[in-house]
Chains A and B, each alone.
Chain A
């Protein structure tokens, strides 16, 4: 309970919360007490001793950063002795510091420089000779993104604490002793350490000791920055708010912005991986294929030609011969407009996007059992959960900032982490329990957990009774899934399974986090439903820090789904085959002939293209030629399409096959909104100008629509969002005005007065009514290993590359971390094959073959291997299986059978 108390600082009466940090209270009330090591986000260190104050009744001086205020405290913040003491400490600090401010990049933004100025430390007035030249220096420039200059380091430990307490990593520490102490990464150097380049340390450094490497072009001082603007990171679904520092029309530096969802943090991609926007490969003019070659044309020609071809195909083959793929990396407004274009201008529901490949099973599964296919809770709530199950999510690499919340829960709040994953992912280091199931046996794991809960009375009877249905069927079905039997299927020791069940079910607040390890299976929808079963049976849902939390992959995949870039729903999941919904949109769009036939999914579009049924395809910001399973087949399908239009910022593998290519604006060159994985709608801000003649996606779509006879007059993203507000109940109150005012609302937010929804299904009141239990049997993976293909291949992402690598591959820093494609294999298998780390092997599935280098690791278990799918030179999706989930049509990326052979050199 917070209690307001009174203290006095230099005679001024101040009311503040009991136990608050004295230095912070003083500064908040206008007392500019100096201090270099204090950082509000980490525990006070008390290293610099500059914030010394006098407190009545206490001996001598005390550093105020270490004092928690008590009622009646009388503090002297400024008197001669204190100021003399501080001046001497600044003098002392300067003697250890290489104050080469003239060439220092931190000049003008350096807290020590400010103090030297404030205390009048002109060189002749200094009492002490400089000593930094005599100190053994330990600079380190081995990181691809950071520079450490020990001669400028004031050893305040802010970086060390930021690495551990904000990022939960603990890579940095202080090495050596006394005057020679310095920051060290790992045990020796940044290069050989576990540092993944998030840059939290740089952001925490008060001086110029830790700086960004000039990945954006060159050294730049803060005072030369012409503009700073906050926008949303274009990479993953966390939706970090980034502060872009702009100089000469280019990004010069990136800082994590404070506030939700990232609380000032970022990962290496957000901070150091945005230079792709300036890459010379950016498309600057429309292209049309002429005589087999893509040649630059004027916009009018490109638009007219495309409109003409679409019209011809529609006329000849009907609207369903056309299909469109929207994009999880475009804004809500662009996606809304894209599906409107397909539905109202073309007249088909054949619109889908890459959510099909990641979380289609989540949308299908959770909508079915809970009524809403999204994260039930907010990311930051994870930090305060008592138990967290992470299943099928390599959170550290795929949602780095969310991983920090999980790590902090474990490290600083006593949470127990249960990792359920066949791979020894980074989070295993933080886990109380690691259940290493066999690939694809998640339903059995969930059934076993529930069996153990029922056997021990750990289920939440009251919750089940009051808020769920179909429990009896589930209970009957899971009887046979006792932990011993489940051990047979999953290889998880029965005792561990029981302990996990106990921890999760009996915790005060327990949360499930899952991702594509659950969804990307041919039984992905059932996997998702199993997660919802777990939450329902234990009542771990509908409260803060509980729930079922699918982490969405792409930056705006949640938004693209919300906007109706799906074949079965309009925006806000209003079904196309619901007459009322159809009538509503027909009226709003003044288009009476909307189709009520559910359209084709990504996977079906390709199938039907191959069969000659889909003749024209419009792809906005997607790259199926890298992202979809069985790439040889994908290529074959796309080549069967009569007319392929691709709209992108680079000439992707897919764009290379196109008949028309439209050059689009990147995230930083257009306005709009993104919806992150926790349903939070945030602004994309136009900060830079487009290169060449590239254009905003929405404007391209509008021109096409108008060329096809419409009279669209959207002037801005705000115009489109107004239409979204009007037609989409869950977005009703998420208006441009509120976003501009700084609100970061989470849907559902039905009206202008609504404050958004932090977590769904409050008090067991599910969106669908009652929570639905689903009795689900374990089903084996479609393609099991056999004699000919003895390995299980799993695919996924790594931290440093992003999806099909069109953006991340065109940055200075990111490819340095993971330069080449690799297959992860364990030592035992390497020994059997007679290969070692770095050796090239040939990986072959029933669908394709790639040659790839080995990364010897203990992450994968014997008989299995893992390949990230980012690398075009060894595309993992040449191997993957196109088998799909019957409900969600999501492909089985997470398991297929392969053969691995040594390449004889």
Chain B
């Protein structure tokens, strides 16, 4: 294996593909060869770096120099100036990250600021399409460890329990307990399912894990399967995630080739295999029971709980359903221990959390930081603050089923407990920032439109309630509302919370109530408008 002086990472994700990353990469390789740098510089296709909306991105190592919005025409300059002469081409002004203060300062600015990366630790450092790179960078070490150290399934579950890992899908249920319950449930066949039907608006953390480090997920599911006693796993991927599906399938094929999946994983006699199921675009299928119904080939309606999937899951067999991000923590917990994991985050909420920052911020994108990081830091230090120097108005946390947080709560710590104390939720980890010009009634209208579109229609309060809420919000928006309508909305949303069958209908109260409670004056103004006219 030859040693290269420079690596250029070419992050390939849905965003960069659209921006023409492959053309840039082709030119880059061609130019490097032309300049005779083939033995010195290696071009590596990697997963995402977490920066979105900035076109094609190149990261040059060891300098950790970022180029954004790279166009094919820029490639010559980068190769000739940077790679040959070691100079940053100053004319590339669209390399818009703040590079004042030299290369060093890059690490502490915006999205490239130092992060505590566990689940995304490798996704941008190696090619997700080549299992050899994955293995070379420590992939599948945790599986090896379990088998060489002869850890029992109980010991694995115990380790996860010790680590304090909690589900990252939004509910925060302790993963170790879920696995334990699945292991203990009676059943000849058990299943582990990875919920990769990431449908929460504004959330794309799972996609970037799937694209950037699919092998980590496989590794985690092998471990999970071993721990709960499952021989079969499913990855339920959102259908729109074309690249995720492609890379995941490729990774599964490679893992099978390397005997990391199949009838005898690493020749230990433990049989485990994975299959991808492609979702068909229903938000409700992000609910684990609806997901299971869909996986069984039925209409994706949520099931009545109890019983829960840990006892009556797929085909009524014990099933653990874990979110992508949750699973992506598993290998490192096995490698480095529960104590290490607990050094990060808060007492009740250990580890890291991936957040997607979007809306009116300078630098939208994705970061992984410790649980409990203050919201202010996420928005201002990582997201670069409100774009265009405008004032902050509110942040919507956790996607459509999330909560509008006003400015006075900006210092809230982003972990399950602290947020709960402030009547907010962590949800999927989406942080949507709104500036002073944003109309909250309009925002709520758009959220309610999403609900009305995504309700499955099974239970009456959610099916009709979402539609009625939308009607009321529409009337307010159009200046046809009445002040009483505001309370009707609250009343209806609360009734839906009490009576809906599944979390979808139960959660609509979160945006409705937080919007009205925190910004009631805006709603009253909207309603009052009609009384004047």
Contacts and interface: CB of A to CB of B under 8 A. Distances in A.
Given A95-B464, A154-B460, A179 B452 contact: yes
A178 B501 contact: no
A706 interface: no
B178 interface: no
B110 interface: no
Interface of B is mostly: helix
B468 interface: yes
B282 A177 contact: yes
A154 B488 CA distance: 22
Interface in B388-432: none
Nearest to A87: B495
Contacts of B499: 49, 52, 61, 63, 85, 89
B457 A49 contact: no
A73 interface: no
B296 to A, nearest CB: 14
A129 B466 CA distance: 13
Interface in A110-169: 127-129, 131, 154-155, 157
Interface string A38-51: 00000010111110
B501 A131 contact: no
B166 to A, nearest CB: 20
B498 interface: yes
Given A49-B499, A89-B495, A177-B455, A129 B471 contact: yes
A47 B492 contact: no
Interface string B451-487: 0111111111101111110010000000000000000
B69 interface: no
A551 to B, nearest CB: 33
A789 B455 CA distance: 62
Contact of B457 (A61, A66, A95, A181): A181
B326 interface: no
Q: Which residue, of B299, B456, B457, B488, has the highest number of chain A Cβ atoms within 10 A?
A: B457
A61 B498 contact: yes
Interface string B136-163: 0000000000000000000000000000
Contact of B500 (A49, A66, A96): A49
Contacts of A14: none
Given A46-B304, A46-B501, A89 B461 contact: yes
Contacts of B455: 177-179
A93 interface: yes
Interface in B490-533: 491-492, 495, 498-501
A95 B460 contact: no
A89 B460 contact: yes
A157 to B, nearest CB: 8
A325 to B, nearest CB: 53
Q: Which residue, of A49, A127, A128, has the highest number of chain B Cβ atoms within 10 A?
A: A49
A495 interface: no
Contacts of A102: none
B457 A131 contact: no
Interface in B289-309: 299, 301, 304
A174 interface: yes
Interface in A250-306: none
A307 interface: no
Interface in B40-63: none
Interface in A70-117: 85, 88-89, 92-93, 95-96
B488 A179 contact: no
A173 B495 CA distance: 28
A88 B491 contact: yes
Interface string B256-272: 00000000000000000
Contacts of B460: 47-50, 89, 92-93, 96, 154-155
Contacts of A176: 457
A831 interface: no
Given A66-B304, A89-B495, A95-B468, A179 B463 contact: yes
A171 to B, nearest CB: 15
B454 A178 contact: yes
Contacts of A129: 468, 471
B463 A88 contact: no
A316 interface: no
A183 B433 CA distance: 41
Contacts of A60: 498
Contact of A127 (B282, B461, B488, B501): B488
A15 interface: no
A127 B461 CA distance: 14
Contacts of A66: 304
A597 interface: no
Nearest to A88: B495
Contacts of A768: none
Q: Which residue, of B454, B466, B495, B500, has the highest number of chain A Cβ atoms within 10 A?
A: B495
Contact of A177 (B456, B461, B471): B456
A413 interface: no
Contacts of A48: 459-460
B458 A173 contact: no
A480 interface: no
Nearest to A176: B457
B463 A131 contact: no
Contacts of B465: 92
Interface in B346-369: none
A114 B353 CA distance: 52
A192 B459 CA distance: 28
A155 B498 contact: no
Interface string A804-843: 0000000000000000000000000000000000000000
A130 to B, nearest CB: 10
A180 interface: yes
Interface string A528-571: 00000000000000000000000000000000000000000000
A179 B453 CA distance: 8
Nearest to A97: B464
A234 to B, nearest CB: 40
B467 A131 contact: yes
A179 B458 CA distance: 9
A47 B459 contact: yes
Contacts of B500: 49
Nearest to B475: A129
Given A46-B501, A129-B471, A178-B454, A85 B495 contact: yes
Contacts of B495: 85, 88-89
Interface string B11-54: 00000000000000000000000000000000000000000000
Contacts of A52: 498-499
Given A88-B492, A128-B468, A129-B471, A178 B498 contact: no
Contacts of B498: 52, 60-61, 85
A92 B463 CA distance: 10
Contact of B464 (A63, A96, A157, A177): A96
A63 B460 CA distance: 13
A178 B457 contact: yes
B282 A93 contact: no
A124 to B, nearest CB: 14
Nearest to A174: B299
Contacts of A50: 460
Q: Which residue, of B452, B454, B466, B471, has the highest number of chain A Cβ atoms within 10 A?
A: B471
Contacts of B301: 174
A89 B299 CA distance: 25
8 contacts: A49-B460, A49-B499, A92-B492, A174-B299, A178-B453, A178-B463, A179-B464, A181-B457
Given A52-B498, A174-B457, 10 more contacts: A46-B304, A49-B459, A49-B461, A49-B501, A50-B460, A131-B464, A131-B467, A173-B299, A178-B452, A179-B466
Q: Which 3 A-B pairs have the closest CB atoms?
A: A181-B457, A49-B499, A178-B455
Interface of A: 44, 46-50, 52, 60-61, 63, 66, 85, 88-89, 92-93, 95-96, 127-129, 131, 154-155, 157, 173-174, 176-181
